Each structure stands twice: as C-alpha cells, then as structure tokens.
Amino acid sequence: MTAKRGPNPRPGILDIAPYVPGTSALPGAGAVVKLSSNETPLGPSPRAVEAYLEQAAHLSRYPDGSARPLREALAKLYGLDAARIVAGAGSDEILNLLAAAYLGPGDEAIYSEHGFLVYKIAILAHGATPVPAPERNLTADVDAILARVTEATRLVFIANPNNPTGTYLPFDEIKRLHAGLPEHVILVLDAAYAEYVRANDYEAGIEMVATSENTVMTRTFSKIYGLAALRLGWAYCPSAVADVLNRIRGPFNVTGPSIAAGVAALADQPHMEQAVAHNTVWRARVAEALDRIGLHTTPSAANFLLVHFPDGTSAREADAFLHQRRIILRRVEEYGFPNALRLTIGTEDENNAVLEALTEFMDGAR
C-alpha cells in the first residue's frame, strides 16, 4: 500500500533521489572506525572548541546576521574583501542559494559526470535541467563541459578536488574553462578540499575569483577545520553575486557558536597545517599499501581515496566484511562507481585497521 501523500510539491520534486549520507553508525556496542565522510582525524583546533563552548552564555541572542566576525577573519587571513564573502550553513547551503538565485525552469547547469551529488539535487530542486559532462580519466574535462554550454546554461559546478574521485584539475585548465564560458554563465569552483591540495598552482584560484565577474569559490569548515557538525561554509563572490545571495539567504543562516568556532579555527593555522601534513603522508602510505594488495586507487589531491575493487571481487562484500570489523567506508554506487569504496584518511591506528581488514578481505577473495 502506498502512503497517502499530502498536497503536491512543484513538478519534478518527487523525482529527486534524496542525498543519502554514508553510514555513520553500526548496530551493537563498541566504537567504530568511521572513514566514510571525509572528516579530519585530528578533529578541530582546541581553540575552536573553547570558543564554541563560550557561546553557551549567549544562546538567547541572535547571532550577527551577516557573520561579520567570520567574514572579517577570512578577509584578513586570505587578503580578501569581507563584503564579497557570504557565509552559509555548510557550503551545501551556498550551493543551494546559488541554484535558487540563478536557476529556474528552462535553465541548465553543467557539472562533471562524477561530480558531487548535491549539484544535481540543487539544480532539480529549482526546476532546472542538470547537464552532466563526461570526464577524462575520472577528471573534469574542460572541452566536454564547454561543448555542453548553451544559451540556457546559467551555472557550471566544478569540485576541485572532486568528491568522490579526489581528482584535481590543474589551474591552467580552470582558467581555460573560465575563458571559454560566456559572461552569462557563473563558474562555481567548489573548493571544499582546498587546503589539502599541495599543487602550487592552487592559490591562483582565489586570485581568479577576485578579478572575475562570473566566478564564485565555495569553501567549508567541515573538512580540514574539523567543524562538520557546526555546518559552516562560505563563498567568495563577485560583489553583484554576494548582493544577490544576501537578498535570499535566511537572515541568521549561520549560528553564533559556529561563527565563534570558525574565527578561532582560522586563528590556529598550525593545527590546520598539522592536519595537512598528516594527510599528505598517510594518503601516500595508504595508497601504496592498497596497491600492494591489488586495490588500485585514483590519484587524489584530497583527504580520501577512491578504492577500486578488481574483477572477481565485490566492493559490496568488502563493505559488509569491514562492517563486521566495525569499520565504515563510503559506498559510491550512486556516484556511478558500483565496484568501489571511498576511504577517508584517518589516524595512524584507523589507517592500519582498515589496511589490515582489507588485506584479510583480499586474501579471502583470491
């Protein structure tokens, strides 16, 4: 029997497949090794936690509606114009605000084939048409994206590095993409994993946003800064885009504790750098160790690896096997990878635990 539905939503809404986050808990007692959501194993800066707790004294007050202290701290750290920063409840909210402001029925938005799932949901939620572009070597393909631009295109979403592949598009290619787009199209550079990138051309991205009228960069405190639970993201926008987003966002879309924790996290750059260094070392070690047991990974610039299971082995079975050992990775079928799992780089112990379990699984599969 189908459940009785209430009043109908707008056409197309019920065709949207909800975003289903990776498993975050397992039945039964005992801790889990959770390497499924690209969270930092080092946690947030203790200074951020302290600043968050101090906010307990102010819970009856609305926060600063434009997250000014956070915008000013970001502007100072990165040499930006605070008036062009818009904060959001996670970068997910910013992506949705961009879709709400620039997309409607008849409009199109392009993203690469294995791009972050929220793009498609945000596009469909606003009645526009999603246009996936094929990739080359699991990396966004500038020519394929440009070939799909039409009069109706309004937004192009590029995650760099991309989730779930971890692949990185060199900045020259981003520039070529931007140069090939007509002025009526906004290029959204989703830089959720920006801090993890060691390529020395990366900082140029923010420079390009700073000088272009149709590029937006989105960033987050959920990954390297370890504040995923607080839902804090931001965008650097051309002034006109910031003005548009400020008209439609909720008047207090970011909470006081989040603003305080974000400011304190930015002030602790050594903690952030420690997380980068940990990731750089362990990403290479884990990839090498997986390679030795026959599990190929896509070269990643982020804090996770896409692990491909060879023919004759099953990612789904590996996932169940890992659950028995209380280890959780991310299934990625809905991203178009039926025989892969995404593995977040964890602490030394977590990395060793997952490597040991996968070695056992592969030994059993041979």
Using CB under 6 A, list all residues that contact ligand PMP: 90-92, 116, 159, 163, 190, 192, 220, 222, 228, 233
Task: Dump strand ranges (E) for the chain.
Answer: 33-34, 85-88, 108-112, 129-133, 135-136, 139-140, 153-159, 186-190, 215-220, 233-236, 296-297, 304-308, 327-328, 330-331, 340-344
Q: How far is the CB of 135 from ligand PMP (least distance, A)?
A: 15
Q: How far is the CB of 293 from ligand PMP (least distance, A)?
A: 27
Closest CB to ligand PMP among residues 33, 302: 302
Closest CB to ligand PMP among residues 10, 198: 198
Q: How far is the CB of 102 from ligand PMP (least distance, A)?
A: 18
Q: Are 287 and 298 in contact (CB under 8 A)?
A: no
Residue 344 pairs with which residues in a beta bridge? 304
Q: How far is the CB of 228 from ligand PMP (least distance, A)?
A: 6
Closest CB to ligand PMP among residues 92, 350: 92
Closest CB to ligand PMP among residues 132, 294: 132
Phi, psi of 293 (to 5 degrees): -100, 15
Nearest-CB residue for ligand PMP: 90
Q: How far is the CB of 219 from ligand PMP (least distance, A)?
A: 8
For residue 155 the two structure tokens come to 């937004």
Q: How far is the CB of 316 from ligand PMP (least distance, A)?
A: 22
Closest CB to ligand PMP among residues 255, 362: 255
CA 107, CA 130: separation in Å to the nearest integer? 9
Closest CB to ligand PMP among residues 153, 220: 220
> Cα–Cα distances in Å, from 340 out to 85, 114, 118, 154, 306?
37, 13, 20, 32, 7
Helix, strand or coil, per DSSP, at residue 287: helix
Q: How far is the CB of 192 from ligand PMP (least distance, A)?
A: 4
CA-based max dimension of the chain: 61
Half-sphere exposure of 172 (CA within 13 A, CB side): 2
CA 209, CA 337: separation in Å to the nearest integer? 32
Closest CB to ligand PMP among residues 37, 129: 37
**Residue whose C-alpha is closest to residue 35's, from 285, 246, 294, 343:** 343
